[in-house]
């Protein structure tokens, strides 16, 4: 079962606090669609895109866990309520 890694969430939160990174992260999230994130290729693509734009290196196990969590979460980046829930989740960890 996939879970959110609190250490990784803190690292991403710290990086996203940079306004330059914030715009890039929003661009990655806007480029994703619900049906894409339900497939391994789309979920891994989103994880890779976020890591690339934030300059964060993660292990293959962390990458697989994050992609599995995204696929199982049913999150839709086009839905404003889902985006708010994602940001709230990020700031809670």
Instruction: Give the range of the structural domain holding residue 85, as residue numbers without chain letter.
Output: 6-92
In a domain? residue 87 = yes
3-state DSSP assignment of residue 57: coil
CA distance 33 to 77: 6
For the stretch 14-43, pLDDT in tens is: 888 888 888 898 888 888 889 999 999 999
Could you tell me the pTM of the whole model?
Answer: 0.84
Q: Contact at 8 Å (CB) between 10 and 93?
A: yes
Which tokens in the block code for residue 75? 């999150």
For the stretch 37-69, pLDDT in tens is: 999 999 999 999 999 999 999 999 999 999 999
CA distance 85 to 93: 13
**What's the total number of domains in the chain?**
1
In a domain? residue 1 = no
In a domain? residue 48 = yes
């Amino acid at each position: 079962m996939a879970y959110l890694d609190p250490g990784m969430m803190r690292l991403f939160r710290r990086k996203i606090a940079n306004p330059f990174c914030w715009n890039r992260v929003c661009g990655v999230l806007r480029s994703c669609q619900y049906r894409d994130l339900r497939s391994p290729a789309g979920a891994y693509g989103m994880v890779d895109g976020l890591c690339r734009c934030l300059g964060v290196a993660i292990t293959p196990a962390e990458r697989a866990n994050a992609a599995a969590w995204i696929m199982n979460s049913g999150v839709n980046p086009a839905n404003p309520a889902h985006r708010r829930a994602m940001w709230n989740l990020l700031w809670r960890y």
